[in-house]
Each structure stands twice: as structure tokens, then as C-alpha cells.
Structure 1
Amino acid sequence: MDKPLNRPIQQTLNDFSFIGQDNVRVMDEVYEEDSFWKQLVKRIAKNKGSVFGFVTITLIIFMALVGPMISGYEFDEQIAGHESMAPRIPVMENFGIFDGSETLKTSTGELVVNKYETIEGGEDAYHWFGTDVLGRDLFTRTWVGTRISLYIALVAVIVDVFIGMSYGMISGYYGGKVDNAMQRSVEVLNGIPNLVVVTLLIIVLKPGLMSITLAIAITGWIGMSRVSRASMLKLKESEYVLAARTMGAKDMTIMYKEILPNIFSQLLIMSMFSIPNAIFTEAFLAFVGIGIPVPMASLGSLISENFKSLTTHFYMIVPPVLVLALLMLSFNLLADGLRDALDPTMKEV
């Protein structure tokens, strides 16, 4: 049997050829890495709910700032003869909707009434959301009331960040007797209902925005403090914290420069979720009659005032209810999108 010949393979230049164009040098392509904020915006943009919430909040803020200026009426202006007038909007009235007419139920049947045709100068009057029983423009009062809700949202975030976050971080970092004393104090405050706190504040102070602000400042930070305390207990024994302590870093430096950046995203999400709760608290207090005093308006006080006319003039309660619902829903959707963007692993759990 013949043995195979172990001959070397001979290759020539004709056995090789360039890939692509002839004599073209191929260069490595370098891709620029996106920054953290660009990646965050891209993740949020993929969430349709958070985009809807952000756009809605932006529009509501814009209307709260500009709306009262374009209506031509003051929020506390009572116009004689314009009581309980239905919505009338330019251009749309030409299509038979929002033309100022409303259907009233009587003992003999239904009656279509348009007060704009019966009052003097009514052909030039426009109330986009209608008027209340005192002749005040609801479009102006609704957006002025929205300013109160946005102010409450801002107060909730500030209280969470500056009081709740610091309180929880200090409690969790030092532990022991300090933590025990601080947590017992939180339990005492948490056991007092907000309604009782506001009532006591009204006895001492005048009813108004200051009483509601203090009520939120007294008890609104408790949830945030518990979240920040739990995060501090989890991270305070980490290697990088021990390294910073070994290098001689002070306690405040360790808390705010070493640990806080690692838990800030979680605290930001928590503060966003607390905004709808604060807005609802103000609306509830105004609805039961211990909120913003008249003639000042808030979404809760508007709902409380116009609820009495629900069966006769239902359009009075629709604008504040819709704005309040959209505002609370939008903040929830935006907070949910931030949670998914800052912690993408949440979707895999």
C-alpha cells in the first residue's frame, strides 16, 4: 500500500485577492459612546406612557401659566347676568358644538336654552369652560386652580428631597440608639392622620395655602425617609464606603458623595410617585371645606363648589375633574417610565 506523500503546499500571489475594492485599506470604525443622560432619554422615549405623561404635564404647566392671561377675565370677577352659562368656544360654535346652548330638564320635558342670545352683549361673550353660579369664568378659575396643584407638587418634591431623604440617610447610617429614636418619632408622626394635622393648623393659623403646605411638610416625607433608610442600611457596609472611611472621609462626605449618587435614582422615582398623593391630599382637603378659602380657587375647591350643580349644569365640574385626573395620571406614567429607564432590570423581574 502506497504511503501518502507529505509534500509542502506551494502558494503564489494569484491565490489571494482583496475583499472589496482593489488596494483599499480597511479602517476600524469607532462608535461614540452615548452619555448617561442620552441613554436615559432614549429609554424614556421608548416608553409611550412616560412620553404621554411628560407631554401632558408640559401642556398643563403651559396652560396654568398662560391660560388666565388669554381668557380676558379675572378668577374672582363676578359678571352680572352671566351666571350658569354653558361653554362657548370660537370656531367650534360654527359646527354646532360648544355654542353656548344647554338642555335643561323641566316638569314638561326638555328645554334648550342659550343665555348668550338673551343677555346684552352676549353675541361677543365667550366662556370656553362656561361660568359658575356666581358668573365667574371657569376657564380662568380652572387654570388658576391648577397653579395651586402644581405648587403642591413642587412642595412635595422639596419636602421629600430635603427632609425625607436626609432624615432617612442619617437614621440608617448611624444606626443603634440614633436610629431607634428617629424611627420611633416617625411612627408617632405617621400615626396622626393628615386631616387632624390640618385641622389643628387651621385652629392656630388661618385656613389657606400655608396650612396645607405645613401639613405636607410635617408628614409628607415619611415614605421617602423609609426608602432612603433602607437603601443606606444596604450600602453603608460596601467596599467603597469602607475605603472612603479608611481614607479619612467624614460622615457627611460619605453619605452625600459616596452613597447618595448610588441611590439617587431610586429616591427620584419615589419623589415622583409622591406627587400625585400630595395633589390628591390638597384636593381632598379642599373638597371637605378646609382647603383654599374663597375666592381663591384650587382644583379641589372647584370640584367641591360645582358638585352641587352636577345634576343641573354638569359642565361646571368636568374641567377641574379632567385636569386633576390628567395631572395625577401623567405624573404616575412619568414616574413609571423613569423607574424603567433608571433600572432596566426591573422589566426582567
Structure 2
Amino acid sequence: MSNVVARDIELDFLDHDFEFVGSENVSTIDSTYASQPYWKDVLSRFVKNKGAIIGSICVVLIIFMAIVGVGLNEHTYDSQIIAHQNLAPRVQGLESLGIFDGSEKMTTSSGTVEVNKYVSANGSVTGLEDTYYWFGTDVLGRDIFTRTWMGTRISLYIALVAVLIDMLFGLSYGLISGYFGGAIDNAMQRFAEILNGIPNLVIVTLLIIVLKPGLLTITFSLMITGWIGMSRIARAQVLKLKEQEFILASRTLGARNFFIIFKEILPNIFGQIITNTMFSIPNAIFTEAFLAFIGLGVPAPMASLGSLISEAFKSFTTHPYMIIPPVIVLAILMLSFNMLADGLRDAFDPKMQEM
């Protein structure tokens, strides 16, 4: 065998053998951000959503006008002046510009005629020279401006009722059903499915037979079936969370069931609950408007946006200005709540923006 002689080899390194890596070859390093509270993070994402901010501003303005607008003139929602019937919109200060001057175009058998009932055609005194109706009047001489904002109050009341029903009935029902499971969950879900299988229009019609048309009937209708969507959302979230480790830890420490439901699970699903509640508001408002349009809403002379649209639709071919204010307010109100709900959903769950 040959002998192998090992020798120590000394290596000398020069200064230029090693060089710093250039900035173009440095891999991206994660930035460090200061931690902030959960709700502050939600608020910052919500503020960045322009659609949600616009929707919030519109909702606030409509609420303000519903509170203040009814008292901006001397008319009430049920006051009638027969001599002032079918007057077109007239706004002081804008009539000199040729807009909102009280004139309207009417289609007759001889053609289209422009009529201004505030001013007499032959120069005689009509008594309406100093009269102004910002949205005009209806066929009974009632101020549409005042009635529109009174109708908005009804829609906002329905929105508040929908929120309370979702929070009190739907949320509690879904949390209890999903947490206990088994026979309790099976019985509660079958009961909810039976109620959900009955059309809402049938429920309202049956309630009108027992009660009289009005807000009480619509409120009972929402109480019967309006909470089912929220209960399903809450139940699904509970089924996802009730087997998590922090729930097991609470049970191990001796926490009671209702403490776990309302103190451990509820705070973790609060974002989904708020989002679903905001989406239920436009549906409730539309339901009231639809029922009022078909004659199952609040009785006259009380006004709602749906009843105003129904009444103005009868005169749409001759006086189209009557239907424009309630339609615009209803559309803006529903669109604003939808935009607000979208913004809240993206703020509570940023991953939804990518879907």
C-alpha cells in the first residue's frame, strides 16, 4: 500500500477576493409594521373604500332630511289644498333661470302644450304668484316634498326594525341552534324551513285579514320570516368555530354554554353579522315599498315611498314629475346601503376583495 502524506495547506485571502453583494442582488425583506387594534385596522380599510364613504354620506344626508325636511315648510303630509292640485315643481331663485319655474309639458289630443298653473295665460291674478312647491303637488293638492320625506321616515323605520329583528331573533336563534347541534339543531332548522317555505306575500295577506293595513302588519311580517337569513349565517359561523381550541379551553375551565356562545363565539363572528345585517336593510326597504305599491302598506293619508310611487304611477302619463322624487330617494337609499354593506364586508374580510 502506498503511503499518503497529509500536508497542511495554508490559504491566504486577499482584500479583493470577497465583495459586498450589490443592491440589485439583495432579496426582498419583509417590512415590519407596528401592530394596531383590530377595530382600528377595520376602520382604516373602510375609509379607503370610496364607495362605502359615498354610501355612508348619502345615508346620513337622507336620515337628516327625513328628520328635518318635514318641517321645512308650512305644509304637513296630510294637508290638502284643492286649488293647488297638480302643480309642477317651482323653486324660488331658480325660476329666473328657466328651470323649476312651475311649467310642465302636457300631451293633449291637439299636441304637446306647455302649461304653468302658477301664472294665468291671459294675465289675470291666480293667487299662486308667490306660491312655491319644490317637488310640486299631487292630485289632491298635497305637498310632495313633505310627503316624500315622511315616506322616507317609514322606510328608515323598516330598516331599523330589520336590524333589531336580525340581532334579537335571527342571531340568537342561529347561535343556539349551531352550538347545541343534534336534535335541538335539527328541530330548530326544520321549523325555520317551514316558515321560510311560506311566501311573504301570503303572510302579509293573512295578517291583513286579522289586523288592518299599516306598519304593525309589516312589522309582524318581518318578525315572522325576516330573521331566517341571519340565523343561517350565525349557525354556519358557529359550526365552524365551536370545535376550535379556545372553545375547548373555555369548556375545560368550566365556562357555561351561554357564556361560551355570547362571550367567546359572538365576538369572533361580529364582522359577518354586521355585514349581513347591512345587506338585509335594502331587502326590508324594498319589501315595504313593494307591499305599499300593491296596496298592502300604510293606509292613507300616511305616506311611504312605495305608496307615493303607487299614487304617482296613476298620473305618470299626464304629470310625470310626481313619481320622480320618491323613486330617486328610494333608489339612492337602497344603493347607499348596498355600497355601505360592500365596504363593511371588505373591511372585515380583506380577502373578499380578491374574489
Compute the TM-score of the two structures, normalised by the length of structure 1.
0.90
Paired with 1:7 and 1:285, the residues of 2 have a C-alpha distance of: 90
Computed over aligned residues only, the root mean square deviation of the Cα atoms, in angstroms, reads 1.9
* Offset from partner CA, 1:205-264 (integer Å, 9 cap, x none): 121000000100110000000110111111111100000001000000000000001111
1:111 to 1:348, Cα distance in 2 relative to 1, 3 A: closer
Partner residue of 1:344? 350
Letter in 2 for 1:294: A
Cα offset, 1:41, TM superposition: 2.4
Letter in 2 for 1:166: S
Cα offset, 1:204, TM superposition: 1.1
Q: Secondary structure at the match of 1:123?
A: coil
Partner residue of 1:65? 67
Cα offset, 1:150, TM superposition: 0.3
2:37 pairs, out of 35, 38, 43, with 35
Letter in 1 for 2:294: V
Q: Which runs of 4+ in 1 moved over 6 A?
A: 3-9
| Contact 1:49–1:334 (8 Å) recurs in 2 | yes
Letter in 2 for 1:196: V
Q: Does 1:314 align with 2:316?
A: no
Map 1:1-349 onto structure 2 (within 5 A): 33-118=35-120, 120-349=126-355
Letter in 2 for 1:342: F
**Structure 1 alignment gaps of length 5 or more:** 10-29
Cα offset, 1:5, TM superposition: 10
Letter in 1 for 2:224: I
| Contact 1:138–1:316 (8 Å) recurs in 2 | yes
* Offset from partner CA, 1:283-303 (integer Å, 9 cap, x none): 000011011000000000000
| Pairs aligned (count) | 327
Paired with 1:5 and 1:304, the residues of 2 have a C-alpha distance of: 97
Partner residue of 2:28? none
Cα offset, 1:338, TM superposition: 0.4
* Offset from partner CA, 1:103-158 (integer Å, 9 cap, x none): 11122222111111137431211110000000000000000000000000000011
**Structure 2 alignment gaps of length 5 or more:** 1-8, 16-31
User: What percentage of aligned pairs have identical amino acids?
Assistant: 64
1:94 to 1:33, Cα distance in 2 relative to 1, 3 A: farther
Paired with 1:347 and 1:169, the residues of 2 have a C-alpha distance of: 27
Q: Secondary structure at the match of 1:116?
A: coil
1:7 to 1:340, Cα distance in 2 relative to 1, 3 A: closer
1:151 to 1:7, Cα distance in 2 relative to 1, 3 A: closer
1:34 to 1:121, Cα distance in 2 relative to 1, 3 A: farther
